[in-house]
Amino acid sequence: MAALTINGKTQEVDVDPNTPLLWALREQVGLTGTKYGCGIAQCGACTVHVDGVAVRSCSMPVSAVIGKQIVTIEGLAENGVLHKVQKAWVEHDVPQCGYCQSGMIMAVAALLKEKPKPTDADINSAITNICRCGTFQQVREAVHMAANA
């Protein structure tokens, strides 16, 4: 058993400490907005925030996040108000199939916290998430929209 702080709430999870955070989130807590893509920290579909930093939860053991603040896509909006990245995504119609998008949004939200006005080069180096639908151009435009919101 481990107690994790997820989206501001303490949640008990009954998993081996080496279990990737992704599976604790999806299977123990029922937060299925965080997606499984590759399982080897390559695609970014599983991105969440740990103490405000974007991490790939498929490769982060539960033991490493005890006592830290975990935020998933379900916790990004505050008091029913969408995060500015989510608003830009809706306005810019970014998602296609949507599978990669929660991870993409979490990665972008963390980037904007660190760099409020990222350049295209900043976006290219920080947002390495893979989108099989090829939404990269819309993602970049929506990042700039969110940065100027």
Binding positions for ligand FES, rule: CB under 6 A: 36-39, 41-46, 56, 58, 95-101, 131-133, 135
6/43 with CB nearer ligand FES: 43
Residue 30 beta carbon to ligand FES: minimum distance, rounded to whole angstroms: 18
33/39 with CB nearer ligand FES: 39
DSSP H/E element including 21 = helix 21-23
Q: What strands, in cross-sheet order, belong to the sheet with 69-71?
A: 9-13, 2-6, 69-71, 47-50, 53-56
* CA gap 116, 30 in Å, rounded: 32
Residue 117 beta carbon to ligand FES: minimum distance, rounded to whole angstroms: 25
Chain centroid to Cα 20, Å, comes to 15
Residue 96 beta carbon to ligand FES: minimum distance, rounded to whole angstroms: 4
Sign of CA dihedral 46, 81, 93, 85: negative
> Which residues share a beta bridge with 47?
56
24/43 with CB nearer ligand FES: 43
Residue 61 beta carbon to ligand FES: minimum distance, rounded to whole angstroms: 13
45/109 with CB nearer ligand FES: 45
1/104 with CB nearer ligand FES: 104
Count of other CB atoms within 10 angstroms of residue 59 = 16
Residue 16 beta carbon to ligand FES: minimum distance, rounded to whole angstroms: 18
In degrees and rounded to multiples of 5, residue 128 shows phi and psi of: -100, 15
